[in-house]
Structure 1
Amino acid sequence: MDRRIFLSGLAGAGLAFLGGCGKAGSSSASCVSELKFPASTVKHQPEEVVSKVKNTPIAWTAYPKPYVTMPEPPGKGGTVSTFQILFSSPPPGLGKNPWWQELNKRLNVKLQPTLAPSPDYATKLLTLAASGNFPDITYINFNQNGQYNGAGFQKFIAQGAFHDLTQYLSGDGLKDFPNLQRIPPLTWQGSSFQGKLYGVPYPIQAVNGQLGMYRKDWAEKLGVDNPKNADEVLEMFVAFATQDPNGDGKRNTYGLDGLRQSMWMGMFRAPNNWRLGKEGTLQKDFETEEYRAALEFTNKLWKKGAIHPDALTLTLNQNQDLFHGGRTGFFTQGGWGFFGNQPNTDYTQTRQNNPKANPQPWLPPGHDGGKPAMAIGTASYGFGGIPSSVKDEKKIVELIHIMEYWAAPFGSEEFTFMYKGIEGKMFNYVKGAPVAVSNGNQNWANGINYLCGPGEINYFYANQPGEAERMQHWQEESLDGATADPTQGLYSPAWVQNAASLVKMEQDAFNRIATGAQPMSHLDEVIKTWKRQGGDQARKEFQDALQKCK
């Protein structure tokens, strides 16, 4: 969740001041399914392993030899302003930042970034909206499922704040931007709105945030490894909390740091937000028996002491510390940075605390011994949009080409500069792969290089044969039977207006029932309230939108 910000305030923000159509071009598309994307013309590299399973990240057997994808600078010599999110300390200013100076030369523009620290991002974005003065490239960040700020951005779009870029970013138009052709169609679709594209996305794994790491050594020691169904999963995590897996003779371990709702939803094959019936009707996830089964399972874990008692208040850093320190037997966030023996991965930090630890990937089985049904997300952290205040079409095309530089393919000369830095000052090649320079200034690019890069749809682990392919296979398993949200990219005014309160209502009910604060009957009352306070109206509007897509 560290890279996804809840923008609940956006859903109810008044944006009537944003007038005009704001379209760079017209598009007949009105549904996600109508978006078309040409096959990539970028040459595959010899080190590239492309999965046969659709939407699976690429694995790299070695870092490719440097190659150039954009021989000419994309900029025309002017000034380009940006609004971006910052997840770390800010970079040095331009005068003391050789990387930023070099970036300006490579782009042939004077880049003027505004970097909003992640806790302040939502407020600063709303401030920009209130002023009606978005920067030339404005990054719109998605939260875990896109519901909060996705709804907020839909309101921006409805008010005409950003250009419709569909004619450039799909169909034949995309052929003018070869690097962008490498972005998976699922990512384009996941960041679309009513079948239209309003920016260049930052791709992520299709199944993200649900790829877990568990203490396999604990499971083997206690004889509960490789659970085949829900009962055996329960047995494993209860054993982690009750049978002294770390061998210190104390009752100081837990199976889980949190409720981990998405894991059990996948195990019981609950819908991904909504389930689409044969008649075109939508059923909300918490209206299904599968959801209730997952909730009951979570309550069993809680009652048997498998879940940390502070599960509802622990922060991400605290969750990581518990797992790294051998106090919990399971952790999940993403998967891309879990493994590998490079510094700061969860695998490395866990092994540093206990060299005998064996953290390994874990995906729940289906509750009945079959396959789980994990949720497919937006496949995007967000995207860079171009505000309608930019009137010159040539400027719009220039800005897309500038974002194309950010989106250069993994291992290219442009990618290496954007995400590894300046050779000799920020990294050196070691056995053919870029390795950070010890004591080098690693924060020159902080925040500035986070916009629409392809890093997380590529698996690469330097000098670790087979690791990238193993991670790729893990994603393939996660995608097998995974389900999409049928309302993704559709517009419901009621959902835009009420998403923050409706999602919170559902989440609070799950938490209270799972932890025993309320009985299962409480869910029925919450569903009734949810329907009255905008849920049923959103359902109708989504159903109407789906009918138009037939």
Structure 2
Amino acid sequence: MTSRLVPTRRALLAAGGAGAAALLGACSNQGRGGIPVKYANAPVTLPEHIPYQGVTPDLPGDPKTGLMDGYFEYPSSPTAATSGAPGDGDAISSLVRTDSPVPPGVSRNAFWQALNERLGSDLKMNIVPAPDWDQKFATVVAGDSLPELFVVAGGMQELPKFLEATAADLTPHLSGSAVKDYPFLANIPTDTWEQSAFNGKIMGVPVPRGIMSSSVLYKRTDLLEEKGITEDPDSFEEFLALCKELTSPRSNVWALGAAPLDLVRQMLGIPNTWSEKGGHLTRSLESEQQKEALEATRKMVEAGVVSPDAFSSQATDRKNWFVAGRNYFMMDTFSAWPNFEQIQSVGDSFRMDTMRTPGFHGDPEMACAWLGNPTYGISSIRKDAGERIPTLLRVLNFLAAPFGTEEYLFRVYGVEGVDYDLQGSDPVATNRGVSETPLGFRYLTDAPWPVYVPGKRRSTQSWYDGQKMVVAYGLADPTLGLYSEADTRIGGSITGRIDDLTNDILQGRKPVSAWDDGVAAWKKAGGNRIRDELEQARADKESS
């Protein structure tokens, strides 16, 4: 999943029309009702976390660490956890995105029709393919035609001001114990709500992902065991030696489909994006071990254990290589696990597991795992919604129905006998279901994701075990939930230059020694300003 759901200021203005320029101009006018950036991180009482207790997991999670609940099968008699339709009979407009092919329209989509019937209101969704999202959102803003429900994300420039101008303040409805009126929203962990808070207000409902967005190293256990390999490497040198043993260019097989720089960084214990000490932040780019990580990873590229197509490949290419057995290892997110099971073609013999990051020099205590952002994005309610806000929140509450309920079974898998068939109590999607169900409303909000692979107990157990292992030595980015205007304006461009330098070093076009100058340029071009704003943001959020 991409984490970028909304356009930059340039994209908004490029869409044309006075609407976008007027909106951004008004948002930027701090002297006439605008919100100064320094208040963007003002504190607010977030919703109380009240976990749903209606189903007992086979594999208990932990909201404090992000570990998700695991289930071996869907309850045979799922409980209907709501009563009555949440809608008010009037249509609800929304703008959503999808990473899947756009499904059939409501007139040809039995699932969409059934959804509207359950909601008691027609949910009119403008479903936008991910590659077209920036331009579409910009056009909607330029035309002053935001729907009642719309998706935003933290990468948007001037986001606090944009939300102040366009989105309803949900604090009276959701802050503290008020969220009890929406029990499925209360089931969303508190840390996930932090990124919906701006200007001392709750400005949206989050899309929770927990630990699912964390990238880890997957290994093809089945293929390794065929070669008699059952033990994981304990150091970088052991990992490199294993990769050399597994690579066979004549057979079109390489140990890795991409240069594993982030894995090596974690072997060395380099912090996750930022580190904090005594209120002061340091970007992980400045870590003393960065050049050692670059040198080691370049050594792997030079050793030929990485696919020669690595630097020109796409994520889908690398996934296909992994399931086809052309690679033994792959870095990907926990959320990708079910997709690997869907696209693999070897059946029950397919086995993958999460490999623990070894310590670079053999000390496992020195290694870390980078935990991903627990919040995928947020959805906001249009500012003029007024008395309709409770209705829209009830609809969002329905769309966040948790695993084990009848509502979750419906909203994720669709209509039985049409979109899925039951194997025992587990839903198995039909071809029609694969086409009809990805309506994109899981980007408006969602329940915490379960660890559940229908009909595959061993896979579910392995997925859960990997998450449990990772949270035990995982590191979060300490700046999550903090807003920096400089980061949204220039963070992408200056980090892009670092990424270009990284690729040049890994491919031997520049020496590792060029890293120091690259980091110095990053700091001068805005990195120091981002750090200062994040430190101020932390102070603002911690103030009373």
Residue 338 of structure 1 corresponds to which residue in structure 2? 337
Provide structure 2 residue ranges, at least 5 long, that are not aligned to the other structure: 14-19, 34-38
Residue 290 of structure 1 corresponds to which residue in structure 2? 289
Residue 399 of structure 1 corresponds to which residue in structure 2? 392
CA contact (8 A) 1:350 1:359 kept: no
Q: Deviations 1:15-35 (Å, cap 9, x if unpaired)?
A: 5523479x9xxxxx9759864
Task: Find out whether 1:490 has 2:486 as its counterpart.
Answer: no
Question: SS of the residue aligned with 2:139?
Answer: helix
Task: Choose 129-138 or 224-233, whichever is displaced more.
Answer: 224-233
Q: Which has the higher helix share?
A: 2
CA contact (8 A) 1:217 1:359 kept: yes
Question: SS of the residue aligned with 2:166?
Answer: coil
Residue 17 of structure 2 corresponds to which residue in structure 1? none
Residue 327 of structure 1 corresponds to which residue in structure 2? 326
**Which of 51, 59, 71 pairs up with 1:60?**
71
CA contact (8 A) 1:426 1:440 kept: yes
Task: Find out whether 1:360 has 2:370 as its counterpart.
Answer: no
CA contact (8 A) 1:301 1:307 kept: yes
Residue 408 of structure 2 corresponds to which residue in structure 1? 415
CA contact (8 A) 1:138 1:384 kept: yes
Residue 538 of structure 1 corresponds to which residue in structure 2? 530
Question: SS of the residue aligned with 2:127?
Answer: strand
Question: SS of the residue aligned with 1:164?
Answer: coil
Residue 454 of structure 2 corresponds to which residue in structure 1? 462
Q: CA deviation at 1:334?
A: 2.0
Question: SS of the residue aligned with 2:311?
Answer: coil
Q: CA deviation at 1:165?
A: 2.3
The verdict on how the C-alpha distance between 1:37 and 1:233 changes in structure 2, with shifts beyond 3 A counting, is farther
**Which of 492, 506, 529 pairs up with 1:514?**
506
Equivalences for residues 148-297 of structure 1 within 5 A = 149-151=155-157, 153-154=159-160, 156-157=162-163, 160-193=165-198, 196-206=201-211, 208-220=213-225, 221=227, 225-242=231-248, 250=250, 252-278=252-278, 280-297=279-296
Residue 309 of structure 1 corresponds to which residue in structure 2? 308
**Which of 361, 370, 383 pairs up with 1:375?**
370
Q: CA deviation at 1:402?
A: 0.8
Residue 16 of structure 2 corresponds to which residue in structure 1? none
Aligned partners of 1:527, 1:73: CA distance in 2, in Å?
Answer: 55
CA contact (8 A) 1:49 1:58 kept: yes
Provide structure 1 residue ranges, at least 5 long, that are not aligned to the other structure: 24-28, 245-249, 340-344
CA contact (8 A) 1:257 1:330 kept: yes
Aligned partners of 1:161, 1:35: CA distance in 2, in Å?
Answer: 22
Q: CA deviation at 1:270?
A: 1.4
Aligned partners of 2:269, 2:21: CA distance in 1, in Å?
Answer: 41
Aligned partners of 1:375, 1:305: CA distance in 2, in Å?
Answer: 26
Q: How many residues of Structure 1 are paired with residues of Structure 2 in the alignment?
A: 520
CA contact (8 A) 2:97 2:128 kept: yes
**Which of 38, 49, 64 pairs up with 2:59?**
49
CA contact (8 A) 1:219 1:236 kept: no
Q: CA deviation at 1:516?
A: 1.4
Q: CA deviation at 1:465?
A: 3.6
Residue 121 of structure 2 corresponds to which residue in structure 1? 109
The verdict on how the C-alpha distance between 1:165 and 1:297 changes in structure 2, with shifts beyond 3 A counting, is farther
Q: CA deviation at 1:367?
A: 1.9
Aligned partners of 2:177, 2:490: CA distance in 1, in Å?
Answer: 37
CA contact (8 A) 2:167 2:381 kept: yes
The verdict on how the C-alpha distance between 1:302 and 1:155 changes in structure 2, with shifts beyond 3 A counting, is farther
Task: Find out whether 1:38 has 2:38 as its counterpart.
Answer: no
CA contact (8 A) 1:12 1:152 kept: no
Q: CA RMSD in A?
A: 2.9
**Which of 93, 97, 106 pairs up with 1:94?**
106
